[in-house]
Structure 1
Amino acid sequence: MNLVGPCGAFGAWGPLDRADPPHFNSMKSNMGSLHTLRKWLLAKTLGFGVTLLCLGGATATSALAKEPFDFLPLPEQAKPVAEPAEGYRLQRVGTNGYVVMSGVVQANFFVTKTGVVVVDAPPVLADKLVKAIKSVTDKPVTHVILTHDHADHAGGASAFPGAKIVAHALTAELMRVYPDPKRPIPTLTFSGARYDLKVGGTHFQLIYPGPNHETGNIIVYIPEQRIAMMTDLFAPGWAPYLGWGNADHIPGLLKSYDALLALDFDVFLAGHAYRIGNRHDVEVSRAFFLDLWNWTKETIAATPFDPSKAEPGNLWLAQSIWFKEIADKVTPRLIAKWGNELAAVDAFTHSTVMAVVVSTFTDAPNIPDSALKP
């Protein structure tokens, strides 16, 4: 596929095929070939995202429409669900809980005896969340629990003035770095691993398993209703987003899975995708994590780093080629095993493998072998 656009020095993009990278030793004296290598690395390593940014939305959409890519179809369990005229779906969970869904974004609220407790407030749902609450009760929103600081889940909190904003102290600390009026600084925070919040007869356990998707990202657990919530750990029925959702601490994801599975729950609410989740979804996503982590580690050991594939001294380029070689080996294995069960395994997995490669060297966690078994 040839995509041509206003990409500055890179000019036209070459075919995005599965060809091997040009070897640096064959082009040391040819700057045009170096240019070819850079184009190839950008196209293959950064993928279509760079191309889309370079071309601009309309042109990119047109190009993609003319030549569709050959990706795996979505499994039935992961397909989108039609939305009613209101523009959102409202699903009851537990005895007093509701999930508001629009597109792939979700938020939750619980109607207690004394008021409404909201868990996360995505900005794209802010108006819909307010409407959904009013369709169920005239009680005021007294608390907004923020699982973490990211704007796509906290950026609608200002729609509930007067409510107590509840979060981990680490989340509040992050939100103070660049204050955002759309994300009010939490007024009720806790430190450490757990906080019990009781509102109008409903018991919310706020559990911090350690850094994971984001520092401060917490589990919200309602034991009496067997409901567990953790936003952005994964989307039920889906493979991970790019770089496992740009995870702050990839090894900490495993701790989060294990902390969740230590709880007694049937319903799992994840903040994203087209349906609510369950315990089996958590188990499946953990199993995918183990395959991704273990196979990446095995492949690193079996794939020697060869700096001669880049210009002497250009460690960035040499490592990017090596990362890609590892991801090229791991990704097909993951697609072969998980492609029929999880959605979009062939979308971001290649880049996620490379993120795991970096994590194994920088985070370098001393994970016990027993923890890396199914």
Structure 2
Amino acid sequence: MTKAFASAADMTEKQTSFTEIGPGLYAFTAEGDPNTGVIIGDESVMIVEAQATPRLARKVIDCVRQVTDKPISHLVLTHYHAVRVLGASAYGAPQIVMSDTARAMVAERGAEDWQSEFERFPRLFQGHEEIPGLTWPTTTFSDRMTVYLGNRRVDIMHLGRAHTAGDAVVWVPDSEVMFTGDIVEYHSACYCGDGHFGDWEETLMNIAAFDPQSIAPGRGDALVGREMVGKAIASTADFVNSTYRPVARVAARGGSLKEAWDACRAECDPKFSDFAIYEHCLPFNVARAYDEARGIDTPRIWTAQRDKEMWAALQG
């Protein structure tokens, strides 16, 4: 039997949580759906990740208003994916920050990604009629920048390629807390369809070098305490490497994409099949791993048509 495409069959509303992970620092999580971070400074608030629609963004804003009435002055988008950025208009007119590379990816593939993700995640795009268009940053950076929310310092950095080429992380040094976007996940599959397998583990080690006390990951529960942080980083690295290794072996001997799929399932199913969005991610992950193993450094653009053709070939 053919599996329902991506997450099209998952229409169950998720239970949200708003967890304090440091003084004035919060993670908005939703049972494996995309997370959002909140940083409260002396004078204003920074949001990390906008959510997919204004409707979902307002759920975040409602949580913020339970703990502070300070204005939202900054919105940091760790990468370009539609489920992360298209809710931006709900936050008013904050300064919107992306890396230079992430902005370039909006220009290059943002429209295609929007249509692709709309069909992959119909539940997340309920209320999509409110989305005014692609989300563009008002400020970009190359390697790092610093924002002061009053006296509170926030460092926004590119520590390497991983989930995308333009990933950013947000570090709050006074509390040793990091917001990692989808570079780190917790009990959720990594989406690697636009990723860089060869760089991902090194980028994780760059995050670990900060020795974070807590992390708000891209998906899954907030990571509070260094032991939980360490386990999540190790699990993420294991997921990425366990996906790539068997696919690379098949590609090296000239095997087919379907053979790579079978090899990846044999290695990953026993360890990760209960992770959130595992079945959704796996075909995209194998397709990207197969390309990278054959020397294709820049991920090919996903379109709604390419999504369906690949899904039928692998999950059919």
SS in 2 for 1:153: helix
The answer on 1:185 being equivalent to 2:136 is yes
Does 1:287 find its partner at 2:233? no
Matches within 5 A, 1:2-151: 16=1, 48-49=4-5, 83=15, 88-103=16-31, 104-122=33-51, 123=53, 124-151=55-82
Distance 1:234 1:101 in 2: 14
Q: Which runs of 5+ in 1 are unaligned?
A: 1-15, 17-42, 62-79, 306-321, 366-374
| Farther-moved stretch of structure 1 (131-140 vs 103-112) | 103-112
CA drift at 1:350:
5.4
Of the two structures, which has the highest relative contact order with CA contacts closer than 8 Å and spacing of 6 or more?
2
Rate the CA distance shift 1:136–1:304 in 2: closer, same or farther, 3 A.
closer
2:14 and 2:30 in contact (8 A); partners too: no
* Structure-1 residue corresponding to 2:209: 262
In the TM superposition, what is the alpha-carbon distance from 1:343 to its structure 2 partner?
Answer: 5.3
What secondary structure, in the 3-state scheme, does the structure 2 residue paired with 1:268 have?
A: strand
Map 1:147-166 onto structure 2 (within 5 A).
Answer: 147-166=78-97
- Summarize the alignment of residues 140-289 of structure 1 with structure 2, pairs less than 5 Å apart: 140-176=71-107, 181-191=132-142, 193-241=143-191, 244=192, 246-273=193-220, 275-277=221-223, 278-289=229-240
The normalised TM-score by structure 1 is: 0.63
TM, length-normalised to structure 2 = 0.73
SS in 1 for 2:178: strand
Within the candidate set 347, 353, 356, 2:289 is matched to 356
Inter-partner Cα distance in structure 1 for 2:154 and 2:89: 22
Contact 2:37 2:179 in 1 (8 A): no
Contact 1:115–1:141, Cα closer than 8 Å, also in 2: yes
Query: Residues 202-232 of structure 1, C-alpha deviation per residue, up to 9 Å, x if partnerless?
Result: 2222111344322322111122212122212
Letter in 2 for 1:119: V
1:263 deviates by 1.7
What's the CA shift string for 1:237-259, capped at 9, x where partnerless? 12334xx2x22433332332222
How many residues align? The count is 270
Structure 1 stretch displaced more, 204-213 or 105-114: 204-213
* Cα 1:109–1:339 shift into 2, 3 Å: closer
1:334 matched to 2:268? The reply is: yes
Tell me if structure 1 keeps the 8 A contact 2:89–2:132.
yes
After TM superposition, give the deviation of residue 304 of structure 1 in Å.
Answer: 4.9
What's the secondary structure of 1:216's corresponding residue?
A: coil
8 Å CA contact 1:211–1:249 kept in 2: the answer is yes
8 Å CA contact 1:125–1:156 kept in 2: the answer is yes
C-alpha root-mean-square deviation of aligned residues, in Å?
Answer: 3.2
Distance in 1, Cα, partners of 2:273 & 2:138 = 45
- The structure with the largest strand share of the pair is 2
Who wins on radius of gyration, i.e. which is larger?
A: 1
**Percent of aligned pairs with the same residue?**
19
SS state at 1:335 partner: helix
- State the 1:94 CA deviation: 0.5
Determine the C-alpha separation between the residues in 1 that align with 2:249 and 2:262: 13
Contact 2:170 2:179 in 1 (8 A): yes
- 1:339–1:346 CA contact under 8 A, matched in 2: no
Instruction: For residue 327 of structure 1, report the CA deviation from its aligned partner.
Output: 2.2
CA contact (8 A) 1:335 1:346 kept: no
Deviation at 1:270, TM superposition (A): 2.0
Q: Which amino acid aligns with 2:293?
A: T
